[in-house]
Every structure is written in structure tokens, then in C-alpha cells.
Amino acid sequence: MFSKRPSLKQITLAIAVAITPMTAAPAFANGGADIVDTAVSAGSFSTLAAALGAAGLVETLKGDGPFTVFAPTDDAFAALPDGTVEMLLQPENKDKLTAILTYHVVPGAVMAKDVMGIDAATTVNGADVTVKVDGDAVMINGAKVVAADVAASNGVIHVIDAVLLPDAM
């Protein structure tokens, strides 16, 4: 699962996330909401919510978990080349969309403080993401973690500023 791994007893399927406290806490008042409802209530994840619906993953991420989700904002999806989101939301591209979305999820709820020294983690789709700490910034592949440790009843969300694409794509 990990390069430079801590023992699995110390961190089960830990995912690399920001090492600083969340900076956008007021936008995420979840009151015990699950990952999907927490993201939707924040107001900046409508594209992610639509993609989860098109891929049939809403019920999964509303399930028991726990999950760690790297959630791209609407702006992150808008930065993709023109027509990409629309193409991915087509029913004939469900497998590709599912592969991309599951690349944003790691099993287990891992908070930022738990990932010191980890430089990679395996996502639900089976591919690894890389982690790099650069000063106060934490990068997941090329995406910057802009808010960390957004708690949900079934896991944690770490907000990122870009959509992660598996190497196969």
C-alpha cells in the first residue's frame, strides 16, 4: 500500500493529506452528515455530486465506511479541458468515470496528523496516489490540499484544487 510504510497496525490504509489544520471549517457544518451530504452542503461540490450520481457511487459513499475522500471542487472540474466533464457524465463512459472517482477514495478515515512520512497510498481503484509536502502545502499527485480533516459521519474529506487522473488515463 505505502512507500516508506508505517506498520498497518499504526495506520490502516492511511492516505496522505494536509499536515495543517483545515482552513475552511465554517463551510462544512455537517451535524453528523455522511461524506456525500457534507460535500453537497458545502456548496462547492455540485460537479462531484453529479459525477458520483452518474457513476452510481452515491450510496456507496453514504454507506458505513469509513472513507477518506479527496474532493475536487467545482473549480477543479472546470479546469479540465472543455467537454471533459460532459463526456465523462455520459452513460457509455460510466466505467471511466468510476475509475476516476474511485481514484479519489482510500478506505479508512485518516486525519492529516496521521500521515507524517507517508509518500504514497493505494486508492479504491487500485492505483497509488503520491504525496509531497512542500512547506505548508501538501500535494496529492499534482493537486493541492486546500482544506483538510473535514469530518463526516462515515469518514473524512480533504478538499483538493484539481481532479486526480489515474496514470492509465
pTM over 0.75: yes
- Please tell me the least confidently modeled range out of 34-38, 80-84, 102-106, 136-140: 136-140
**Cell numbers linked to 148:** 483538510
Please write the tens of the pLDDT for every residue from 60-86. 999 999 999 999 999 999 999 999 999
pLDDT higher than 70, residue 12: no
Q: Residue 27 and residue 62: Cα distance in Å, rounded?
A: 20
At residue 31 the predicted structure's pLDDT band, cuts being 50, 70 and 90, is low
pLDDT higher than 50, residue 5: no
Cβ pair 88, 96 in contact under 8 A: yes
